[in-house]
Amino acid sequence: MTFSILAHDPDTGTIGGAAATGSLCVGGWVLRGNLAAGMSASQGASPSTLWGEEVLAAMQGGADAATAVKEVTGADAGQGYRQLAALDLQGHTGAFTGDLNTPEMGSATFGTGVVSGNMLAGLDVLDGMVQAFEGANGGLDQRLLAALRAAEKAGGDSRGLLSAALLVLHPDHAPLTLRVDHHPDDPIGALSDLHKRATTGEYAYWAEKVPVVNDRERGLD
pLDDT digits (tens, 9 = 90+) for 105-146: 999 999 999 999 999 989 999 999 999 999 999 999 999 999
Q: Would you state the pLDDT for residue 156?
A: 67
Q: Which ranges of 16-139 does DSSP label H, i.e. alpha helix? A: 26-30, 49-60, 65-74, 124-135
CA distances from 67 to 140, 197, 221 (A): 25, 38, 44
Tell me: pLDDT of 87 over 70: yes
Model's pTM, two decimal places?
0.96
Q: What is the rounded average pLDDT for all residues in the chain?
A: 95
Q: Return the C-alpha torsion angle 203, 208, 214, 216, nearest 10.
A: -80
CA distance 216 to 193: 29
CA distance 96 to 131: 21
Q: Would you state the pLDDT for residue 70?
A: 97
